[in-house]
Structure 1
Amino acid sequence: MKIGIVAEFNPLHSGHRYLIECARKIADENNGEVICVMSEFFTQRGEVAIVDGYTRAKEAVRSGCDMVIALPYLGSVAYGDDFAKKSIEILSGAGITHLIFGTENEDVSMFEEIYTKQQNKNREEYKKLLKTGLNHAKINSVLFGLENNNPNFSLAYSYYKAIREADLDIKLIPVKREGQGLNSGDVSEQVHLSATAIRNNINDEKIEKYLSKEMFADLRKENMAAEAELFPYLKYKILTLGKVGIEKIYDVSEGLENRIYEASLKVENYSDLVNLIATKRYSNKKIQRALLHILTNTTKEDYKKYFSTNNFRVLAVKKNKAAIIREINREGKIILHPLLNSKNSMNFEHDIKVARIYELLFSKKDIFRENIQIID
């Protein structure tokens, strides 16, 4: 048995540790392993990871994972279906038999019904809702019964959809989430605190109880990449690319380049830029992802070239489980690289470029070339 986890761990907190502990318990009872795929520099919501990937991966292994594989940038900063598709592709290549995830609603029996509805969706009804100004994600939620569920449940459905479309034999293990959701509140009275709530209360000493001592210390050490630091680089990139250049950027379509360029001339901070561009059709998350693609110069051609890669980096592994890497590489479905060198670096050209941007924001050097973290 191999249990997979898809994560960002931004940062890794008590709720994440609970999920890992559940996976660890099941794996140990079945002589199995726990393998995680994790975003590295930027997140699915289009945000900067507040702690670097190696640090978060090391914490994940200390918490009970056997290995952490880096999810490439184009899988990390993507809408739900692409995020899930790439994550499941990696975990399937690593040989997982089960996928464990946290969700407020453990009843995933409706997924097959939703999937069937999607295959037979009413095109006319879809077009009608599109004219109201709703974005594609919201329309799917309304049409297929996901509107009353939170993002975690919708993402869980995306995992199911990716598994179903690839015809994989991977079983789902939903785990009931406890504690606070996305909105921050009184951080002292929660069973578990969400990663978003922790980021929103980063200067509150009360968050310490939701983090390990190591992670809390790492958060305090990091030079936080504030929006104020990111904005000048982004605005420079928008103005130098111009509307024609922005149109070539991945996930920019339907005239969005015009809104982005015009908005950049009117604002002086990142938050105002996002809010000015966003509409009912273009959610804040979509705008944040598009802006990151501009910042990293990720074009539509880059997506075609790099999204389909089967080469992935290992960020951390438990010392007594290092043989897993060789076993997976022998199977040949995916290729894992524990170290970056002159022979394999060509497989990671785009992610190296993305890493340079992250280093610029955090005033660090060669994060991408750090050695795999081997944990006793």
Structure 2
Amino acid sequence: MTDVPSVESPTPPEPQRPPASVAPRSDVGSAALALALAAGDRAAVGRSLRDDVVVVPILDREDGTPQVQVFPAPEGSDKPYQLHLFSSTQTLSAFLQDAPDRAFSLRRRESLAPFITRHGAALEQVVIDPAGPSPMSLGVAETLALLDPQPPADDPTGLFDETGTGISGEALHALGTVEDPGGFRGIGIELNLPDHWAIIELDEPEQRERQIREIVKQQTVKLSDRSAPLRRDLRQKMIEVADKAEAAGGKVMAYLLLPGQETALALNVTLYWHDLGPEAGSTSHLQRIQDRLEANLGPDDALTRTETLSGPFLRHIRLTHGSEEVGGQDVPLLLIDYWAEAPGKQSVARLAFSTPHVGIRDEMLRLTDKVLFSTEWILGQPSENTPTDASPEPGPAEPSPATPAPTAPSPAGV
């Protein structure tokens, strides 16, 4: 057997630390998955993958961060790799035999599904317990269907799972080192949005303009050719909003493209990333932001703080109106900001939502909460050249271009 790296890294890295040894134990993994495989019950396998853990082999990248390990697809396959999952470390050990790379993590569907979605184009199939007594092969599309059942009829957003993305075993290991010198820390955050969100990459100018054109085209497809000026104006406004967001530190902007019962839902989000450096004194960056927000709360504003396994976050809710520049001064807007402290406490992520649907505030909050809990920290180790001086903190209490532009024309509302 030949070990190959994850599709995320085409060159096998040399591990910087000895990988955890796989102990051949049947009680580390999912007994339900083992029983479903023994019965050859694909539906039961799907339930186990959705509701329980699965053992996933991993490797270390050159920088020490863990990655999912994939293996060569059978000769003659259309795709180069296949993903192997295991019901226990016992079946993983039987497969690895004497292979030196023996690290693994216990993953749930909330972190497994995004990986398969991102790399599905390079995967021939998913094989569970390839060396076990009851192996099962699944197509990539079939695996994703088993991992992500259809949302309930009353929540067509696809973000109905209240548990969030969960934290994989390797992420827990990385989180355990954030207090150590040279340990892992949050270097980014990934938005795991369903397909009906249109993404705009703010830090890629050419791609950004192409994505905006595609959004406008998709949302105005039913309009006649006489609407060309409207399309042109809409593109220009979206480009202006994207430019302002990028200048303020925005990384990604996304628009919800989901029809409502009577009108299209209008909601957009911009992801900002603030590298602030080591904390000064005993007060965290997030606490300083919280103090500033609390000092400037309006009578109708709401600010809450929530503690999670991967760190705390703030939710700041406020009402405002659109910009006079585009005649939107009479349009009420609901602004929802989430400030999340990255593991390692040297960076803060901000998800800034904007919607005119103030009349369904609770429903929109449930949706934005689910977007937040579907995110996943990107963890890495700083290089020796990483500066240690703290950067200026963002000033949430002051008018800032980082605020999601209330004048942004939401294509979902066209």
Given the two structures, how large is their TM-score scaled by the length of structure 1?
A: 0.25
Q: Which has the larger radius of gyration?
A: 2
Higher helix proportion: 1
More strand by share: 2
Higher relative contact order (CA 8 A, sep 6+): 1
Q: What TM-score results when the alignment is normalised by the length of structure 2?
A: 0.24
